[in-house]
Each structure stands twice: as C-alpha cells, then as structure tokens.
Amino acid sequence: MAMRKYVEVNISAKSKTTIKYVMKMLASVAEAVIFMFLGVSAVSSTHVWNTEFVLLTVFFCLMFRAIGMSVRASQLSRHRRASAVSNV
C-alpha cells in the first residue's frame, strides 16, 4: 500500500494484472489453510474451554485494532493536511 504509487509506474499492465491475481490467490490459500485448521480442531475429540484465554484474545484483538486504526488515521490526516485538496 505504501509503495503502490512508486511500483505502479515502473511495471507493465500485464505485470499489474499478474500481481493482482497472485495476491488474491495467496489470500485465498491462507484463508483456506486457516479454516482447515479451525475445522480440524473443531472436530477433534478433546475440547478444553478456557474463558480467560478467549476474553484476553478478544480484548487484545480489539485493542491492537484500535491502535492500528488510530495510527493509520493520524498518518493519513497528517498527509492530507500537507497536500492541497483539488476536487472539493
């Protein structure tokens, strides 16, 4: 995302298309592997419920999501203030 404006100028349209579809394929494969492991663990015979682990996992996911979004938003705001908005 950060290097997009530099990379797109230096590669051909065919390479852009190839990169686009390779990244989509990698995302699909990663998702399939995650859900495969999730499915295998769901049908295994030993289940141990750990409330503390579940609550901490949800808490940390939400906390780091909020931190990441606020950092990105502040970076974008700083960048947008520096550049003139021409189509408003």
Given this model, what pLDDT does residue 62 score? 96
Q: What is the pTM of this model?
A: 0.48
Given this model, what pLDDT does residue 29 score? 95
- pLDDT per residue rounded down to tens, the chain (88 residues): 567 777 777 888 898 899 889 999 999 999 999 999 888 887 877 778 889 999 999 999 999 999 999 999 988 888 776 555 555 5
Domain boundaries, the chain: 1-46, 48-88
Ordered DSSP codes for 18-60: HHHHHHHHHHHHHHHHHHHHHHHHHHSS-----HHHHHHHHHH
Q: For residue 19, what are the contacts with CB-CB under 8 A and spacing of at least 6?
A: 11
